[in-house]
Amino acid sequence: MQFEQRTLSNGIRVVHSFNSSSKAAHCGFVINAGSRDELLHEHGLAHFIEHSLFKGTKKRKAFHILSRMEIVGGELNAYTTKEDTCIYASFSNEYYARSIEILSDILFNSVFPTKEINKEKEVICDEINYYEDTPSELIFEDFDENFLGSNSFGRSILGTPETLATFTADSIHDFMNRNYFIAEQIVFSSVGNISIDKLVPILEKALKDVKLRTGNLPKRLLEKRNPFFSEVSSKPISQSHYIIGVETHSAKSEKARQLALLTNYLGGSALNSRLNLLLREKMGITYGVEASYTSYTDVGMFNVYISLDKKNLNRAIRTIKKEFARIQANGLTPHVFAQVKKQFIGQFLLAQESKSNTMLTAGKSVLLFNKVDEDEEVVRKINNIKLSDFNETAYELLDYDKYSSLFYEQEK
């Protein structure tokens, strides 16, 4: 997929892929601000803003916002991570102007009525309770806080009922003015059956009154990480949950793609991942095991997570240690490494069929690198990874003694 880039008169960067074969289109604003940018008293505010943006603008009430796209079969959505926020829409190609207008209105003209944001506090408290009741999700949040510390980087994105209670429209405007309304902080990303020459005038019209400041991006501080080991928490759950993790390279590292390959080989979504073959298919002691690599602008996190009956935990840990040691000692053979790359490339190309995900990924790529690699370039870079470099990265990563761990023990 090919992308073109432009810059609007107010400084917002635009990245777009012309897709003539699809009747559906996807577009949105990707903003270089997330929970990591919160001050101490703002815990959960970035995520709260994502919810509150749909609650009223200078010319629309919440109902009219929610109906604007749905009435023509489209969708509005949003998400927040530690480092970015996105507000986006999916729709039939004929509704580009409608989609851009509503997204622009939401982002730049929201008024955050007190009655509406108070209702949303209750919604997010319910979301927090959902995570508390979902150990497979909660254990990742708890691991981050234990490892990264109780700072804006390590804390849960959702916040707490106590911090939510303190948020007001003024809190929201303060955060957005500080982190959102800088030209370099915003990318508009799009995939659809429209040329960029037609798209840009629609954006200019919708954003004609939006004034943004320019300047250096706020520098995210990298707080000291604090390794920890085997914290045990007894919970009213029917399975035990175990996670290990270690700090590794960032999204900007030349080793990032090697780590993505290694993660996929060890515990990716495919049923033939090494840990799935060993722990599920061969030993039959777990339904779910996965490896994940989360890359941030200045650091990365590699995790392995497993849920199982407590009686099988030590067997699982021994198996994971043994597999790590095997790869450290021997690396992958040329034949296996070629298969690993072929599988990863196939999965990547299939993932490109999801144009909404492609649109979001392109926006994030422009924020990080000011460019988007075309599919062919991604494939070329994967194919060019040398086995010796991959094995060296694997050796560095898979030193089990350096890993932190967290264990949720099922009640007896």
pLDDT digits (tens, 9 = 90+) for 356-397: 999 999 999 999 999 999 999 999 999 999 999 999 999 999
Name the residue type at position 411.
E
* Closest to 82 in 3D by CA, of 115, 36, 113, 121: 36
Entry pTM: 0.94
User: Does the pLDDT value for residue 231 go beyond 80?
Assistant: no
Count of domains for the chain:
2
User: Does the pLDDT value for residue 107 go beyond 90?
Assistant: yes
User: Does the pLDDT value for residue 205 go beyond 90?
Assistant: yes
CATH value at residue 188:
3.30.830.10
Same structural domain for residues 182 and 295?
A: no
pLDDT for the residue numbered 215: 84
Question: Distance between CA 127 and CA 369 in Å, rounded?
Answer: 33
Same structural domain for residues 116 and 155?
A: yes
User: Does the pLDDT value for residue 174 go beyond 70?
Assistant: yes
Model confidence pLDDT, tens digit, residues 2-35 = 999 999 999 999 999 999 888 999 999 999 999 9
pLDDT for the residue numbered 227: 78
Residue 261: partners with Cβ closer than 8 Å, 6 or more residues away? 340, 341, 344, 382, 385, 390
Same structural domain for residues 281 and 164?
A: no
User: Does the pLDDT value for residue 178 go beyond 70?
Assistant: yes
Q: Which domain holds residue 257?
A: 231-410
Query: Does residue 225 lie in a domain region?
Result: no
Q: What percent of the chain has pLDDT over 90?
A: 89
Same structural domain for residues 260 and 314?
A: yes
Query: Does residue 321 lie in a domain region?
Result: yes
Query: Which of the pair, 412 or 324, is modelled with greater confidence?
Result: 324
pLDDT for the residue numbered 20: 87
* Closest to 405 in 3D by CA, of 267, 302, 319, 300: 302
Model confidence pLDDT, tens digit, residues 391-400 = 999 999 999 9
pLDDT for the residue numbered 233: 67
Same structural domain for residues 183 and 307?
A: no
User: Does the pLDDT value for residue 224 go beyond 80?
Assistant: no
Residue 61: partners with Cβ closer than 8 Å, 6 or more residues away? none
Q: Which of 189, 206, 223 is the last residue before a domain boundary?
A: 206
Query: Does residue 212 lie in a domain region?
Result: no
Q: What percent of the chain has pLDDT over 70?
A: 98
Query: Does residue 211 lie in a domain region?
Result: no
Q: Give residue 245's pLDDT band: very low, low, confident or very high (50, 70, 90).
A: very high
User: Does the pLDDT value for residue 53 go beyond 80?
Assistant: yes
User: Does the pLDDT value for residue 132 go beyond 70?
Assistant: yes
3-state secondary structure the chain: CCCEEEECCCCCEEEEEECCCCCEEEEEEEECCCHHHCCHHHCCHHHHHHHHCCCEECCCEHHHHHHHHHCCCCEEEEEECCCCEEEEEEEEHHHHHHHHHHHHHHHHHECCCHHHHHHHHHHHHHHHHHHHCCHHHHHHHHHHHHHHCCCCCCCCCCCCHHHHCCCCHHHHHHHHHHHCCEHHHEEEEEEECCCHHHHHHHHHHHCCCCCCECCCCCCCCCCCCCCCCCEEEEECCCCEEEEEEEEECCCCCCCHHHHHHHHHHHHCCCCCCHHHHHHHHHCCCCCEEEEEEEECCCCEEEEEEEEECHHHHHHHHHHHHHHHHHHHHHCCCHHHHHHHHHHHHHHHHHHCCCHHHHHHHHHHHHHHHCCCCCHHHHHHHHHCCCHHHHHHHHHHHCCHHHCEEEEEEECC
Question: Distance between CA 359 and CA 22 in Å, rounded?
Answer: 14
Same structural domain for residues 235 and 183?
A: no
pLDDT for the residue numbered 412: 62
Q: Which of 190, 206, 222 is the last residue before a domain boundary?
A: 206
Model confidence pLDDT, tens digit, residues 254-292 = 999 999 999 999 999 999 999 999 999 999 999 999 999
Same structural domain for residues 351 and 277?
A: yes
User: Does the pLDDT value for residue 1 go beyond 90?
Assistant: no
Same structural domain for residues 300 and 151?
A: no
